[in-house]
């Protein structure tokens, strides 16, 4: 569920509560298969100070400062979290009722808790040294909000894959998911099955502008809530009412009135207007 705008919304919400707080205790449910090393998490996270909260693609990163048990030296650690399809990260009062499928409780030093709830457990969580964290975050591609025009064009044209597959590939662009890919392609009038290498310069330019505009507006509206997603304070997003293609099969295209169609591209449901987004001749 959570793509760049949703993760960004969660990060901004967490920033209102977490920096400067200390994690005093960690509790886990019995289902911890989404944690790389649950023992390490329990050993290294309690007692640490949260310095900052940031986003890298769809990953949330909490910068922690851990006091060495015996000495005075402070160590930097990263708490790396991915929300998968149904992950929620919220800050609540410690006596708030516990939602089903809540698997991690970080007790804070202000009588509140940071909770991770994830029914499907497609999320991921680990504690890592900055060097180990780099192994996960390093391979991620360009940030679609910051990439230059030249880099954007190079990333789109230097590979022979469908544009939909390219945009979803986290090593090409970090943060794009199924919703914002379809919305961007609809806005730029590009069929999802077109090859990136075959896009015309003008189309590439248009696509980059469409992606930026859509991601920025989605962030402004707090992301898209389809069924599970909520921000750090439990509030849903509002961008779903602005969707023009995603999950609109059979409904009229907002531009031309043609019925939106759905087809599988890159293994994912892809929604597009067959008139505005002309299909490629081959493939």
Do 6 and 177 touch, CB atoms closer than 8 A? no
Written as six digits, the tokens of 48 are 């640490």
CB nearer DNA, residue 90 or residue 224: 224
Do 222 and 238 touch, CB atoms closer than 8 A? yes
Q: Which of positions 22-51 make contact with DNA (CB under 7 A)?
A: 31, 33
Q: Which residues of 94-111 are buried (b: 16+ CB within 10 A; e: fewer)?
A: eeeeeeebbbbbbbbeee
Applying CB under 7 A, which of residues 106, 116, 186, 229 lies at the interface with DNA? 229
**58 given a catalytic annotation:** yes
Residue 91 contacts by C-beta under 8 Å, 6 or more apart in sequence?
Answer: 13, 14, 17, 18, 108, 112, 113, 114, 115, 232, 233
> Which residue out of 3, 6, 8, 77 is catalytically annotated?
3
Least distance to DNA from the beta carbon of 147, Å? Answer: 17
Handedness of CA 140, 144, 146, 152 (dihedral sign): positive
Give the binding range for DNA (CB under 7 A) out of 39-47, 89-97, 211-219, 263-271: 263-271
CB nearer DNA, residue 9 or residue 66: 9
8 is a site residue for DNA (CB under 7 A): no
The Cα diameter of the chain in Å comes to 69
Nearest Cα residue to 14 out of 236, 232, 237, 223: 232
Least distance to DNA from the beta carbon of 124, Å? Answer: 8
Applying CB under 7 A, which of residues 84, 154, 221, 254 lies at the interface with DNA? 84
Residues 192 and 188: their CA atoms lie apart, in Å, by 11
168 is a site residue for DNA (CB under 7 A): yes
Applying CB under 7 A, which of residues 265, 272, 276, 277 lies at the interface with DNA? 265
209 is a site residue for DNA (CB under 7 A): no
Do 269 and 179 touch, CB atoms closer than 8 A? no
280 is a site residue for DNA (CB under 7 A): no
98 is a site residue for DNA (CB under 7 A): no
Q: Which of positions 112-141 make contact with DNA (CB under 7 A)?
A: 119-122
Nearest Cα residue to 276 out of 261, 117, 267, 227: 261
> Which residue out of 51, 262, 268, 275 is catalytically annotated?
268
Residues in the chain: 283
Residues 76 and 52: their CA atoms lie apart, in Å, by 11
Cβ neighbours of 56 (radius 10 Å): 18
> Which residue out of 44, 55, 58, 248 is catalytically annotated?
58
266 is a site residue for DNA (CB under 7 A): yes
**268 given a catalytic annotation:** yes
Least distance to DNA from the beta carbon of 224, Å? Answer: 5
Least distance to DNA from the beta carbon of 84, Å? Answer: 5
Written as six digits, the tokens of 95 are 């006596």
Q: Which spans of this chain sit near DNA (rule: CB under 7 A)? A: 1-3, 6, 31, 33, 57-58, 82, 84-86, 100-101, 119-122, 159-162, 165, 168, 170, 177-179, 223-229, 264-269
User: Which positions are catalytic?
Assistant: 2-3, 58, 268
């Amino acid at each position: 569920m959570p793509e760049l705008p949703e993760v960004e919304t969660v990060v901004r919400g967490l920033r209102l509560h977490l920096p400067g707080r200390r994690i005093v205790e960690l509790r886990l449910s019995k289902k911890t298969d989404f944690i790389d090393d649950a023992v390490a998490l329990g050993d290294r996270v309690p007692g640490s100070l949260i310095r900052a909260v940031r986003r890298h693609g769809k990953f949330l990163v909490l910068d922690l400062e851990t006091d060495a048990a015996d000495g005075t030296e402070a160590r930097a650690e990263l708490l790396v979290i991915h929300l998968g399809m149904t992950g929620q990260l919220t800050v609540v009062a410690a006596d708030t009722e516990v939602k089903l499928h809540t698997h991690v409780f970080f007790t804070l030093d202000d009588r509140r808790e940071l909770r991770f709830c994830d029914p499907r457990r497609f999320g991921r969580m680990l504690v890592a040294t900055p060097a180990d964290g780099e192994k996960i975050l390093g391979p991620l591609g360009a940030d679609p909000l910051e990439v230059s025009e030249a880099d954007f064009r190079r990333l789109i044209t230097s590979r022979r894959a469908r544009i939909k597959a390219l945009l979803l590939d986290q090593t090409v662009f970090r943060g794009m998911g199924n919703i914002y890919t379809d919305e961007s392609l609809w806005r730029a009038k590009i069929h999802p099955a077109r090859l990136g290498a075959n896009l015309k310069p003008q189309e590439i330019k248009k696509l980059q502008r469409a992606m930026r505009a859509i991601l920025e507006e989605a962030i402004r509206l707090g992301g898209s809530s389809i069924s599970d997603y909520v921000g750090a304070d439990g509030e849903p997003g509002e961008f779903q009412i602005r969707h023009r293609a995603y999950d609109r099969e059979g409904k009229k295209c907002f531009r031309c009135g043609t019925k939106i169609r759905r087809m599988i591209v890159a293994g994912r449901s892809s929604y597009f207007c067959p008139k505005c987004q002309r299909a490629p001749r081959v493939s």
